[in-house]
């Protein structure tokens, strides 16, 4: 089997992401297998685990097309993305113009600069769209947001070289994993309570039927000898779904408690394998 990790330093994501795993990495690392073939991350978001793991061969996917096009822009033309970002002013009027742009008609470089700009300047770095797929998060009014961090973007661009990037549902990409590969699933979580849910990363939410479909895919992968790691909330439904044939490891994360509560609290989450 191929050596699974490159002998280079891990790096951090260049995007902020709701449910991002950056602060949980210390608790996830002990469960990375020593050896694996290809690494697959079908719900990639800001790719915190991918950038930490530095696998030799990887496939990353998400249903958010603009996000995947952003990774392509950073992988293929990072200097052009940096030049564009460096030319964008931080003010509300420009932000509102960017929000309205018909970005899907543009090239990956423009999409990447658009996505990163809005990620750094919108409220809480949220990505949310309306029914027409228009970005609709309000201006964050931050004093000095780090809109362009050239060295970080260049490092991420290098790590993404030769990485397969796809816009697809998790089932399509996960089923390609072979014996000995590693798949890390980080889906939108089963909500802990009716008010704590944030599952609208794209126009389509992630309901309980999707959670069960994900369980079925993980069962199929494990039966084929694929290493599987999966994150989810500690909602009773998650223990129920993964009650048979899986180990549910409790980890702790600092998260926003609910939309109506501005504070952050320690929340128990699960790492399932
Ligand atoms: C919890 S986030 C992943 C966070 C990521 N691990 C990180 O560290 O930033 C879940 C991601 O799943 C994506 N997603 C939602 N439904 C999906 C589906 N059916 N297939 C693939 N990706 C999906 C969302 O766009 C979002 O980026």
The rounded radius of gyration (Å) of the Cα atoms in the chain is 18
For residue 245, the CA-to-ligand 1 centroid distance in Å is 24
| Order of strands across the sheet that contains 164-167 | 164-167, 58-62, 39-41, 182-185, 227-233, 261-272, 248-258
Within 10 angstroms of residue 175's Cβ, the number of other Cβ atoms is 15
CATH class of the domain at 22-63+168-272: alpha beta
User: Which among 124, 121, 15 has a CA at the least distance from the CA of 64?
Assistant: 15
* Angstrom distance (rounded) from CA 40 to CA 60: 6
At the fourth CATH level, the homologous superfamily of domain 66-158 is Adenine-specific Methyltransferase, Domain 2 (1.10.1020.10)
- Higher-confidence position of 31 and 6: 31
**What whole-number percentage of the chain has pLDDT above 70?**
91
Ligand 1 atom closest to the Cα of residue 45 is: 27
* Angstrom distance (rounded) from CA 137 to CA 80: 26
- Judge if the beta carbon of residue 125 lies within 6 A of ligand 1: no
Q: Is the pLDDT of residue 201 over 50?
A: no
Tokens 């998790």 -> residue: 170
Range with the poorest average pLDDT among 5-19, 67-81, 163-177, 232-246 = 5-19
Size of the chain in residues: 273
Mean pLDDT, residues 260-271 taken together: 78
Pocket test for ligand 1, best of 47, 168, 188 (most atoms within 8 A of CB): 188
User: Which among 261, 47, 7, 82 has a CA at the least distance from the CA of 163?
Assistant: 47
Nearest CA to ligand 1 atom 3: 45
Burial class (CB in 10 A: 0-12, 13-18, 19+), 224: middle
CA 67, 69, 74 angle in degrees (round to 5)? 95
- Judge if the beta carbon of residue 48 lies within 6 A of ligand 1: yes
Same fold flag, 22-63+168-272 and 66-158: no
Q: What is the reported pLDDT for 192?
A: 86
For residue 199, the CA-to-ligand 1 centroid distance in Å is 9
Mean pLDDT, residues 1-19 taken together: 80
Nearest CA to ligand 1 atom 27: 45
For residue 44, the CA-to-ligand 1 centroid distance in Å is 6
Note the pLDDT tens digit of each residue in 110-141: 999 999 999 999 999 999 999 999 999 999 99
Q: What is the reported pLDDT for 218?
A: 98
| Domain residue ranges of the chain, discontinuous segments joined by + | 22-63+168-272, 66-158
- Inter-residue contact 24 to 13 (CB < 8 Å): no
Q: In the beta sheet, which residues pair with residue 126?
A: none
Q: Structure tokens of 138? A: 């309000």
* Angstrom distance (rounded) from CA 166 to CA 24: 25
For residue 18, the CA-to-ligand 1 centroid distance in Å is 9
Buried b (16+ CB within 10 A) or exposed e, 139-166: bbeeeebebbbeeebebbbebbeebebb
Q: In the beta sheet, which residues pair with residue 228?
A: 183
Q: Is the pLDDT of residue 87 over 80?
A: yes
């Amino acid at each position: 089997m191929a050596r699974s990790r490159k002998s280079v330093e891990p790096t951090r994501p260049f995007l902020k992401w709701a449910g991002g795993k950056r602060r949980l990495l210390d608790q996830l690392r002990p469960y990375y297998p020593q050896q694996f073939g290809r690494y697959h991350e079908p719900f990639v978001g800001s790719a915190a685990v991918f950038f930490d793991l530095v696998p030799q061969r990887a496939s990353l996917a998400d249903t958010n097309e603009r996000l995947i096009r952003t990774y392509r822009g950073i992988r293929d033309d990072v200097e052009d993305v940096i030049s564009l970002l460096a030319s964008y002013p931080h003010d509300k009027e420009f932000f509102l113009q960017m929000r309205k742009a018909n970005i899907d008609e543009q090239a990956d470089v423009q999409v990447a600069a658009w996505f990163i700009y809005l990620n750094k300047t919108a409220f809480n770095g949220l990505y949310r769209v309306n029914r027409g797929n228009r970005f609709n998060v309000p201006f964050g009014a931050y004093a000095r947001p780090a809109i362009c961090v050239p060295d970080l973007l260049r490092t991420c661009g290098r790590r993404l070289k030769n990485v397969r990037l796809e816009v697809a549902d998790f089932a399509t990409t996960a089923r390609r994993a072979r014996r000995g590969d590693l798949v890390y699933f980080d889906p939108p979580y089963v909500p802990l309570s009716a008010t704590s849910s944030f599952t609208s990363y794209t126009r389509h939410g992630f309901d309980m039927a999707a959670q069960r479909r994900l369980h079925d895919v993980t069962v199929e992968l494990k039966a084929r000898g694929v290493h599987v790691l999966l994150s989810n909330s500690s909602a009773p439904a998650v223990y129920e779904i993964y009650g048979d044939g899986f180990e549910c490891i409790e980890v702790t994360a600092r998260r926003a408690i609910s939309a109506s509560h501005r504070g952050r609290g320690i929340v128990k989450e699960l790492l399932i394998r």
